[in-house]
Amino acid sequence: MSGVRDEKLAIWLSAVTAFTNFLFTVLGVWLVERTGRRRLTLSSIIGTALSLALLAVGFLLSAQHTPAVTIRPTPPSPPQHHLHAIRVRDVTPRPCDVSGSLRATSVFDTSCVPTNQGFTGEAAWGRCSNSTRVGDGTFWAYNYCPPLTPGLSSWGLIFYLACFAPGMGPMPWTVNSEIYPLWARSTGNACSAGVNWTFNVLVSVTFLHVAQFLTYYGAFFLYSGLALLGSLFVFGCLPETKSRRLEEMESLFEGGLCTCGATDSDEGRQVEYIRVKGSNYHLSDNDASDVE
């Protein structure tokens, strides 16, 4: 859909995105104890919102700046049932079933023809009815429009993974394993994991429908807006849990819903422990002067 025609290039791009995901996940593992959970999560979700907006802009430019239809081929006389599928406009519609020629970086001599219902890789009739690429430089573009900026959507996807992998990928699991008091850990983790995977399924099963009604760029603008709303929630409601003990989590959330995101004066504190009779006790400030 982003305009990548070459199958080998598409495979290499998928390898690039997979490596980006792996590389920045390792970066997140290295940063989590250095920057803290709150900062890493907040920067990650803001970055994902911006990258989703970049993806949307890429699809928007692809939809607005499509090559004009310059050739209007005549359909074969029999059968006539294909006539209802012909779409001829001054600007190529989406999804684009285009047969056109390529000259350098420009597309010219384009035409809209119906898709072969048995095999979407070629047209039902016309120049691209026998192959996806003809020897004279003509190629078949199904379900995408040849864009003026073919790399923008791909860069947006890579940028999205670079922002998502170190923060929004691992941090929800990290934070959810820490924020619950001991008496609610099992239930809290079960509920959070259930909500996470429920919405993963909802996004997966609704994406094509959302893209159909809102267009591709509309869908990604919607996701970008939801990510911005999530960043507001993270900013106001997520406390820093770095260097916190599990026993302190209940008191950490004793305030209002959106007050625990305030700056914690104890951030970066060093907790001292002393072993007495085989047990660990927190060293209070009054006893600190008695310990060398």
Q: Residues 59-91: pLDDT tens digits?
A: 888 777 766 677 777 777 655 444 333 333 333
The residue to which tokens 């970055």 are assigned: 47
Q: Does pLDDT of 160 surpass 60?
A: yes
The residue to which tokens 């035409």 are assigned: 111
Structure tokens at 1: 């859909």
Q: Does pLDDT of 255 surpass 70?
A: no
Lowest mean pLDDT among 10-19, 137-146, 217-226: 137-146
pLDDT in tens, 170-211: 898 888 888 887 788 889 899 999 999 999 999 999 998 998
* CA dihedral of 173, 177, 183, 187, whole degrees rounded to 10: 20
pLDDT of residue 202: 94
Question: What integer is the mean pLDDT of 201-226?
Answer: 92
pLDDT of residue 53: 94
Strand, coil or helix: 151: coil
pLDDT of residue 6: 67
Strand, coil or helix: 280: strand
Max intra-chain CA distance, the chain: 101
pLDDT class of 136 with cuts at 50, 70, 90: low
